[in-house]
Structure 1
Amino acid sequence: MSPLAAPAVDEDVDLARRPDPDRPWQTVVWDDPVNLMSYVTHVFREYFGLPRAEAERLMLAVHNDGHAVVSQGARERMELHAQAMHDYGLWATVRQEPA
């Protein structure tokens, strides 16, 4: 019988740092070298139902600033949006709104 190994412990984890339940979560789409700007606009219009002008504004933010917040709300919903963006081939993450 082999002895049980102790799990590795990360001593640098700050357990006091927790998500703030009062701050909303965001879905962030990031720039990539693959997708055309017209395709990103199409995805924003099709998935989020945005008018062309708003979809183009967000697409330009992704292109020029490197990312754009495309949705904000409950964490679970933002995770669904991020997964949908992945399904369209876009790079997206979820974060809590910066303080």
Structure 2
Amino acid sequence: MVSIAPAEQLTEDPEVLDAVDHPWVTLVWNDPVNLMSYVTWVFQTHFGYSRAKAEKLMMDVHVKGRAVVSNGPKEQMELDTEALQGYGLWATYQKDD
């Protein structure tokens, strides 16, 4: 017979729970340098987004000043941020609130 421990007896590692409850996001910020067509191209090239999705995200950057372009584990968001900065975009990552 298999015995399953009640939920209150399970170890709750705060770091593990925090990572599950608060995924990380990569943000791209509006800047006065890059053309909208270039930003769209970067989103399509780096993330493989469709033209429609890339254009929507680009318009969010342009109109709202920023857009969440990816989400996931911290390590992946660090990589996405570095890659986008390599393309010359203003990108940061943070925990999603």
TM-score clears 0.5: yes
The aligned residue for residue 21 of structure 1 is: 19
Which SS does the other structure have where 2:19 is aligned? Answer: coil
The aligned residue for residue 35 of structure 2 is: 36
Q: Normalising by structure 2, what TM-score?
A: 0.80
- Consecutive aligned runs of 4 or more in structure 1 exceeding 3 Å deviation: none
RMSD: 1.4
> 1:52: how far off?
0.3
The aligned residue for residue 7 of structure 1 is: none
Judging by fraction of residues, say which structure has more helix.
2
> 1:21: how far off?
1.9
Unaligned runs of 5+ in 1: 1-17
The Cα offsets for residues 7-27 of structure 1, whole Å up to 9 and x where unpaired, read as: xxxxxxxxxxx8x32210000
Q: How many residues align?
A: 81
The Cα offsets for residues 58-82 of structure 1, whole Å up to 9 and x where unpaired, read as: 0000000000000000000000000
Q: Normalising by structure 1, what TM-score?
A: 0.79
